[in-house]
Structure 1
């Protein structure tokens, strides 16, 4: 390489990744490393909740990613105190499962291997447990009616290879399983129990040794609709001895059930009999007996949790926040997180005096456009909870209270959850505008005073100017007041023009630039504060600065949230990056013009260098150009 070539070298650094979560159950996993994994189309994305930034994407899948699972997960964070390498499993709609390695020392990822025995159809769930710091057992299920159980031994040296072996392949029939959970049986560490549930409304329990040979032990009946989530607790200790284990299940019947597997002949059964005679309300219903080797376990219904108003897609035990004192057992916190399509997540805990399980915390989405949660997840320390929903967005709450619980929403990364069709830089280069087939237009910008891992300004979604009823194909930014005006085209015959409202201009000046790109004297001329969406989601009406607040107050008092009565937006100037609820409803731009002329769907837009002329094209070969003068304000 010559000296001239060296002098002309250009360094390229990645500063921002925006992506939405695939809208599917079991897609998200929070690992003991503190990082969250999720599928974003064909890639596995990794984000850091502390910085609200997507750190990287892992390419390798050729189909959409359905599910991810960390080894170790948050449940086994107490076993990962000194681990230098963490592992991640990901499965896609082609049935392929890939194992990845993360080195915590240099923050580098490595594609370890692809499982040799793929499922014939899409992977629906992956679950696993750490049996030691260097060994894990995991299971996967698919809509092909098969469940594979694997053992993996991790390398002892950096760069080494994993030892992978298939312990068992189970055929569960035509009614596929969509939820799995693995655990070690208390008092019998050589045996594992696998719970699976799915389309037949039953929970099936299989027992097997560490070397394989899983056999069907029993089935648990009670749910009246599909089983959507299962999670075993860690062994429950009594008098320093692990004698029972709990299983929580959720279903589309809106009910959560807690099942108890108690080692027969232990003090747990004696206590249970005494409770049954004295306190009938807290007594449990005995079920089948599970036999594993020389041990047997009495299965009983411990509790029913009723409170959700729609399908319960996810349940998860709170992970232990401290390491075990004896080095073997670890006390399981009595706390369950559930996520439902009723737009809420709930934390359930037993009442101290009666032991009856109660809903103690409820958080959720309030936006009318929200359609519920596909999953809920605990952080390793149990102080944060994360949900992902139908719109591909994340919602994060953290308990900031000291003596009492005080769950507050936190910043999370965001992005499109469908194909991004076009992008355009603002004329002042302050932000990037993107449109997608997820029917939204989004503004991404660097936000000062929010440090990223690189020590520079971190990027965030600062506005969602357009939420449309059609897939949006193209966008271009044109000249306007402060150079903040754009034209977008969708799967319709109309191009729409949007103007930046005053709330966006002030937010942009506050958060994204040291020097104002739209001075205060010009902001006085802008009389539109924000925009409202119509019930059909096709037109956005302006909200004027001096408009009356009667409509807002009326909707707030009535508490109506239906398609027939859409609440008004409340645009505001944000002093920190807005969260999902604010983005989806309070950052819209008003629509100022509609440009007619095309007879088919628009698919391309561009403007001249001065931003005064717009060219558009549609899906008719002989009509491809229309020029419109939009230079007037």
Structure 2
């Protein structure tokens, strides 16, 4: 996907990193082969084949709770002729949106928003395909209602979809959180909907395709909330496919399989069961369900016990193609996912028919914190879980029930507050309110695979007990270092361990330390988290060679110990378990001095000074501290603002420090360094720049001009003149939303041109082309500076809410296109390729 500008600027999506909302019905695997999930208030789509997020769909105003594909994997055999697939997404405000994906070109469009029928959040959406052009789906909400809808697809591409509400059921104060629909065997005009929720019972409703649904019966047995329900397709027993199975799971840790067998009208009138047929897999007789002219005996087929915690999801394996003909049949195989950090596959034993757990995955992980849902791939050879940490876990059956972990996309599961490029431009570092920092890089595959760069998460340097607000990478020679600031008063300095440097070499196909030859000096292999502290302790190269002692007494884990991290060099992108445990960076220093939570950080271009600010409501707390890189001593306290300094940046020659603040002022400090390495500073200018908070600022890479952006929706361009005063050069036309992020890049070979990236509270990013005339003394001469909108980036590759930070990659020689990284409150990190042609 890309956006074309009027002035020869083209923008393409390179990478999207995002974590999954921690909500149970959030993920759906479609017959299209793609997986959908809610990432904050956008719907993200990822391809399990490439482990890349392909796009995000903007449109929801609240957090996305659930997504559901039509056709889902259960109906992939009915999807063969379809040119479009559809996706439903429901949010915490009760809004449901229908999206259309055209398979040929991968283009998405928002078809419609369903008429508002839910007053509170949508908890679950489930649907079935009843013909080539028709689907029926149900939506449940925490307002205690369940709605049934009919969706008619267009016969040809470009036609319109029709959605109508068939019925709305009020299920009372205890809302439903699980739904499943089925067409009854022997009577496809009749549809049964099963719903379960907070009253521990499964309610079955029956109705025709045209409307009203009536309560048919309820199934009792579970002793806690029902969390998941799934009907099978008809299962053939004794040559007749008149049986449907319903599987249910609950917070009582149990899974129940219910059988619905056709008796009544189609059979001999006496019911097909005779009481004397009692075997081990016998049923416990339940209610009879009446649907139209048919009746169905419901019985408990099996109770599956094996999980040690709440079972959040159960799913029948999608149908398989039979050996003869073009028929498909329902395999007797169920996938369950639980908060006990495992997924299990259950199948009946060949001889006795007793259901057994045949596969268990996930039990070795000590960091997944439980699974919220499990999903089958369309052909049943892969299973996907999403977990409490916003993470995905994918296993593939590589033969003979040997299930091996596969690569998946990953990302933050809370607002991403700051990003920075490595000084080499090899990776980006992001920090988030999910209390982690993460490193993403393109994993350069063999040249023969010509489908571009695939980015992956390489490392999770910091895992912390506080929300992280800001980060800065320290440029300059030597090892990779960064400083981060969180909701604590301390800045923390981290240094890359040997294991990371070697992994980075593998990712970038370079040799040793990216040209700086740092590998020889690095004695720290990795880092370990102390069980009760927040500091990440170094693991030294020497110590790692000796055998580590076992934790606890006789190797038993006690509460005070946590498993030892094993710093690992990766030759392919690491998966969640490895990232969360074996890729930590050691902390080398703490910066004490601020009176409140840290809010912003920046480093100069030589890598000698770091500036930091914290949340403030008075002038004394609002001072900016300067730290000397290396000794990490505080070498300055700059006073000028009366409220939080929201962003800071050193000019590209490091002579000035620009700060902007909630107090609507900006300040320019002159920074001078003596040969002895001492730093002195003075306030050159302070003035009110805007009518509201100034959120962001950025210097022109080729001069002493800078831009400021504010909540008043205005961007202004200023210049420092003759080192003594500041002049307003121009004000850009008012934007549609508050300006929250700015980043100014120079264009190669054109000193008097620049691109200003502008990010807004509504998630939009615009690139503006700036051209200026310079006089001989370097100042801006008349007619001054000209600005034109170069490109408005396509909303499908932009953020869905506030853009928190924008950062251009330093344009190294040899890079033809420029790269822009962005992060936002929609949990996403994004990288764009920007090509300037004219």
Same fold (TM over 0.5): yes
Change (3 A) 1:558 1:56: farther
Partner of 1:413 in structure 2? Answer: 409
Q: TM-score, structure 1 length as denominator?
A: 0.94
- Once the two structures are TM-superposed, the CA of residue 134 in structure 1 deviates from its matched residue by 1.0
Q: Which residue of 2 aligns with 1:83?
A: 82
Structure number with greater Rg is 2
Post-superposition shift, 1:561? 5.5
Q: Distance in 2 between matches of 1:317 and 1:308?
A: 17
Task: Quote the residue 2:596 is aligned against.
Answer: 600
Does 2:166 match 1:163? no
**CA separation of 1:110 and 1:144: change in aligned 2, threshold 3 A:** same
Of 345, 360, 363, 1:362 maps to: 360
SS of residue matched to 2:10: coil
Residue 563 (structure 2) aligned to one of 551, 563, 567: 567
Q: Is the 8 A contact 2:478 2:516 kept in 1?
A: no
1:115 aligns with 2:114: yes
Q: Which stretch has the larger CA shift, 262-271 or 83-92?
A: 262-271
Q: Which residue of 2 aligns with 1:385?
A: 383
What is the CA distance between 1:557 and its match in structure 2? 10
1:400 to 2:398 alignment: yes
Q: Residues 28-107 of structure 1: matches in 2 within 5 Å?
A: 28-107=27-106
Would you tell me which structure has more helix in proportion to its own residues? 1
**Equivalent pair of 1:474/1:488 in contact (CA under 8 Å):** yes
Q: Secondary structure of 2:97's partner?
A: strand
1:19: which partner in 2?
18
Query: Shift of the alpha carbon at 1:275?
Result: 7.3
Secondary structure of residue in 2 paired with 1:583:
helix
Instruction: Give the secondary-structure state (helix, strand or coil) at the position aligned to 1:518.
Output: helix
Q: Distance in 2 between matches of 1:427 and 1:61?
A: 36
Is 2:447 aligned against 1:448?
no
Answer yes or no: is the 8 Å Cα contact 1:53–1:452 preserved in 2: no
Aligned to 1:337: 335
Q: Secondary structure at the match of 1:581?
A: helix
- Give ranges in structure 1 of 5+ residues lacking alignment: none
SS in structure 2 at match of 1:508: helix
Conserved 8 A contact 1:318-1:337: yes
Q: Aligned to 1:424, which of 420, 426, 440?
A: 420
Task: Tell me which of 586, 590, 606 is aligned to 2:582.
Answer: 586
| 8 Å contact kept, 1:502–1:527 | yes
| 1:177 partnered with 2:176 | yes
- Is 1:498 matched up with 2:497? no
Match of 1:347 in 2: 345
Q: CA RMSD in A?
A: 2.3
Output the CA distance in 1 between the equivalents of 2:270 and 2:512: 71
For residues 318 and 270 of structure 1, the distance between their equivalents in structure 2, rounded to whole angstroms, comes to: 29
What's the TM-score once normalised by structure 2's chain length?
0.72
Q: Equivalences for 1:174-573 in 2 at 5 Å?
A: 174-238=173-237, 240-265=239-264, 266=267, 273=274, 276-277=277-278, 279=279, 281-322=280-321, 330-364=328-362, 366-401=364-399, 404-449=400-445, 455-479=451-475, 482-514=478-510, 516-519=512-515, 521-536=517-532, 538-548=534-544, 552=548, 554-555=550-551, 560=556, 563-573=559-569
Task: Provide closer, same or farther for how the CA distance between residues 9 and 520 of structure 1 changes in structure 2, counting only shifts above 3 A.
Answer: closer
Distance in 2, Cα, partners of 1:477 & 1:11 = 28
Change in 2 beyond 3 A, CA 1:438/1:529: same
**3-state SS of paired residue (1:291):** strand
The DSSP-based 3-state class of the residue aligned with 1:503 is helix
Paired residues of 1:560 and 1:567 also in contact (CA < 8 A):
no
Distance 1:192 1:323, change over 3 A: farther
Give distance in 2, aligned partners of 1:600 and 1:201. 47
Aligned 8 A contact 2:500 2:569 in 1: yes
CA distance in 1: counterparts of 2:533 and 2:447, whole angstroms: 36
Once the two structures are overlaid, the 10-residue window that deviates more, 9-18 or 34-43, is 9-18
The 10-residue stretch of structure 1 (10-19 or 193-202) with the greater mean CA deviation from structure 2? 10-19
**Partner SS state of residue 166, structure 1:** strand
Give the whole-Å Cα distance in 1 for the aligned partners of 2:373 and 2:447.
29
Q: Name the CA distance, whole Å, in 2 between partners of 1:447 and 1:268.
A: 66
Residue 450 of structure 1, CA deviation: 6.7
Q: Distance in 2 between matches of 1:453 and 1:179?
A: 42
How many residues are paired up? 623
Instruction: Specify the SS of the correspondent of 2:76.
Output: helix
What secondary structure does 1:13 align onto?
A: strand
Bigger share in strand: 2
CA deviations 1:124-172 (Å, max 9, x no partner) are 0000000012100000000000000000100112121111111110000
Q: Structure 1: how far apart are the matches of 2:37 and 2:174?
A: 26
Q: Aligned partners of 2:623 and 2:102: how far apart in 1?
A: 52
Q: 3-state DSSP class of the match of 2:15? A: coil
Q: Distance in 1 between matches of 2:512 and 2:352?
A: 60
Q: Distance in 2 between matches of 1:192 and 1:462?
A: 48
Post-superposition CA distance 1:194-239 (Å, at most 9, x none): 0000000000000000111100000000000000000000011235
Tell me which of the two structures has the higher relative contact order, counting C-alpha pairs closer than 8 angstroms and 6 or more residues apart.
2
Secondary structure at the counterpart of residue 13 of structure 2:
coil
Partner deviation per Cα, 1:472-508 (whole Å, 9 max, x = no partner): 0000011466441000000000000000000000000
